[in-house]
């Protein structure tokens, strides 16, 4: 099914709304914890590890509940309407840690961040599942993935431009962040309403409400999903290590937090370039080749980030551009791969479980995000980073370099190696979808014949 541009734009708006809460936390929450709330880096890293793994567990719960839901608005869209506002409000609370002493701060941080991540699961799981329910056309799905990536990239750019100057120049960073996240509540809810109004569910499913048992049976034999999950686990660890370190790299390696704006402008600009190219690359070379090519480009950028001298600002930004292009292409194709695994699961078992499939995939991604963010904070903590210090030691600066470059490069190599075994080529996927169409047609004919006989 061909999608209207309004549907594609509406779907992209949903991920823009998601990232007003999610990317705000991945980009700035660690720095907020260490430099504003006064939580030591190693303890902050533990918060990230524990809460994001919990976030993955709530993804699984949300996926099962979503698959069993049904309404006049569809299976997935109502969740965007009712769960999005609590998510945005909890983002405000997460960036407001009261001065209750270290123990009190830790308790508050764990509770608010975990609550925000739980709300995010009940928005993001149905949102991500929508792509597989809107169309079965591989190129159209890549367009949806492109819109999603561009929504993310736009918000990442906005966050860099809006928040980074506050880190460098604000006399009261706590108050400015509270106001900023409060504005995001209004903007984000408007974007969610746009997605709700435009992202219609059109793909037919034989079983409207999928049981837990059916979901498990569908998932455990889904080899493409398993391989995609393993690769994504490693790749997301890489991506979130470098994303968590971005503002640290600008401030402590390059010497000015405002440079983060230039880094994000350049990096996001290349993501805007990479994402629209994804459908063309899929048509020309296929998804696996595009994924591998994007990974190689990202690795080159990561290695450059590790070793570039701090005095060579333009070259440093250039390496972020290179890594951004590679990551932009990979991130776009990931979502398209995930939607394809839904068809494979239905082909294998006869059960279409978009929610459970996306939940498992999202769970693994959350674990990767947890490992990436935690490893980054552990790396700089063990290297001697001191929150709030005007100057960091050389060892701490090298810890930031490693967490921003070398570690992500090695992880990306492993992620590409895993995807070598991914079995769904374009030809094979076309055969599967054609067989599914034939099955549905045969069932439809049998139903019509039964009605006629009656």
* Alpha carbon distance 312, 304 (integer Å): 11
Could you tell me the two tokens for 237? 């660890």
Q: For 135-222, where are the alpha helices, taking DSSP H only?
A: 138-169, 173-198, 212-220
Does 424 fall in a domain? yes
Q: Which residues, including other chains, have CB under 8 Å from residue 290's CB and lie 6 or more apart?
A: 278, 281, 282, 329, 333
Is the pTM here over 0.85, yes or no? Answer: no
Could you tell me the two tokens for 226? 């398993």
The 3-state secondary structure of 30-57, one letter per residue? HHHHHHHCCCCHHHHHHHHHHHHHHHHH
* Alpha carbon distance 223, 26 (integer Å): 30
Return per-residue pLDDT of the chain as tens, 454 residues. Answer: 678 889 999 999 999 999 999 889 878 898 899 888 999 888 988 898 888 888 878 887 887 787 777 777 878 888 888 889 999 999 999 999 998 999 999 999 999 999 999 999 999 888 988 887 888 777 787 788 888 888 888 888 888 888 878 876 667 888 999 999 999 999 999 999 999 999 888 775 554 555 556 556 666 778 888 898 889 889 888 888 887 788 888 888 888 877 887 887 777 777 777 777 777 888 888 888 898 999 999 999 999 999 999 889 999 989 988 998 898 888 888 877 877 887 888 887 777 776 677 777 777 877 887 788 777 878 888 888 877 677 788 888 888 898 889 989 999 999 999 998 888 887 888 888 888 888 777 765 555 555 455 5
* Alpha carbon distance 283, 139 (integer Å): 8
Query: What domain range includes position 47?
Result: 8-200+211-437
Number of Cβ within a 10 Å radius of residue 48: 27
Question: Cα-flanking dihedrals φ and ψ of residue 122, to 5°?
Answer: -80, 0
Does 443 fall in a domain? no
Does 452 fall in a domain? no
pLDDT at 451: 44
Q: In this structure, are residues 247 and 167 in contact, taking their beta carbons and an 8 Å threshold? A: yes
* Alpha carbon distance 398, 384 (integer Å): 10
* Alpha carbon distance 226, 233 (integer Å): 11
CA angle 14, 240, 185 (to 5 degrees): 35
Question: Cα-flanking dihedrals φ and ψ of residue 360, to 5°?
Answer: -65, -45
- Reported as type and span, the H/E element at residue 285 is helix 259-285
Q: Which residues, including other chains, have CB under 8 Å from residue 449's CB and lie 6 or more apart?
A: none
* Alpha carbon distance 86, 15 (integer Å): 16
Does 448 fall in a domain? no
* Alpha carbon distance 2, 223 (integer Å): 28
**CATH label of the domain that carries residue 268:** 1.20.1250.20
Question: DSSP letter at 387?
Answer: T
Does 444 fall in a domain? no
pLDDT at 296: 95
pLDDT at 359: 74
Spacing of C-alpha 417 from chain mean position: 21
Does 136 fall in a domain? yes
Sign of torsion, CA 97 103 106 107?
A: negative
Does 134 fall in a domain? yes
Could you tell me the two tokens for 356? 């459970």
Q: What is the dihedral of CA 168, 169, 171, 173, to 10 degrees?
A: -50
Does 314 fall in a domain? yes
Burial class of 69 by CB neighbour count within 10 A (0 to 12, 13 to 18, 19+)? middle
pLDDT at 87: 95
Q: How many structural domains does the chain have?
A: 1
Question: DSSP letter at 2?
Answer: P
């Amino acid at each position: 099914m061909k999608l209207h541009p309004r549907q594609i734009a509406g779907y992209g708006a949903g991920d823009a709304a998601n990232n007003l809460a999610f990317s705000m936390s991945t980009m700035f929450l660690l720095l907020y914890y260490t430099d504003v709330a006064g939580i030591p880096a190693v303890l902050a890293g533990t918060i990230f590890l524990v809460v994001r793994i919990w976030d993955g567990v709530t993804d699984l719960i949300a996926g099962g509940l979503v698959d069993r839901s049904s309404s006049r608005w569809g299976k997935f869209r109502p969740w965007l309407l009712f769960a999005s506002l609590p998510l945005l409000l909890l983002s405000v609370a997460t960036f407001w840690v009261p001065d209750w002493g270290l123990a009190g701060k830790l308790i508050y941080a764990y509770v608010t961040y975990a609550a925000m991540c739980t709300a995010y699961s009940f928005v993001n799981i149905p949102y991500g599942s929508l792509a597989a329910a809107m169309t079965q056309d591989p190129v159209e799905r890549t367009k949806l993935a492109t819109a999603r990536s561009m929504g993310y990239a736009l918000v990442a750019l906005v966050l860099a431009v809006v928040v980074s100057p506050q880190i460098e120049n604000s006399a009261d960073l706590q108050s400015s962040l509270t106001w900023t996240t409060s504005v995001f509540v209004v903007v984000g809810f408007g974007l969610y309403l746009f997605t709700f109004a435009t992202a219609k569910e059109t793909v037919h499913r034989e079983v409207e409400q999928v049981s837990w048992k059916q979901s498990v049976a569908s998932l455990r034999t889904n080899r493409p999903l398993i391989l995609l999950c393993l690769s994504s686990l490693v790749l997301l660890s890489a991506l979130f290590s470098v994303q968590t370190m971005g503002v640290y790299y600008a401030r402590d390696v390059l010497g000015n937090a405002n440079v983060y704006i230039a880094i994000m402008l350049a990096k996001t600009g290349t993501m805007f370039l990479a994402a629209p190219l994804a459908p063309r690359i899929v048509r020309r070379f296929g998804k696996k080749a595009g994924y591998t090519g994007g990974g190689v480009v990202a690795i080159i950028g990561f290695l450059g980030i590790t070793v570039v001298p701090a005095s060579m600002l333009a070259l440093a930004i250039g390496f972020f551009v290179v890594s951004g292009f590679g990551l932009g292409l990979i991130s776009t194709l990931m979502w398209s791969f995930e939607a394809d695994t839904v068809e494979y699961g239905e082909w294998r078992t006869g059960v279409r479980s978009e929610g459970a499939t996306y939940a498992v995939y999202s769970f693994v991604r959350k674990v990767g995000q947890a490992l990436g963010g935690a490893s980054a904070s552990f790396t700089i903590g063990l290297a001697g980073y001191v929150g709030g210090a005007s100057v960091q030691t050389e060892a701490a600066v090298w810890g930031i370099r490693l967490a921003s470059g070398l570690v992500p490069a090695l992880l990306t190599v492993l992620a590409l190696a895993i995807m070598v075994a991914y079995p769904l080529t374009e030809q094979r996927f076309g055969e599967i979808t054609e067989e599914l169409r034939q099955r549905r047609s045969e069932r439809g004919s049998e139903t019509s014949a039964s009605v006629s006989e009656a």
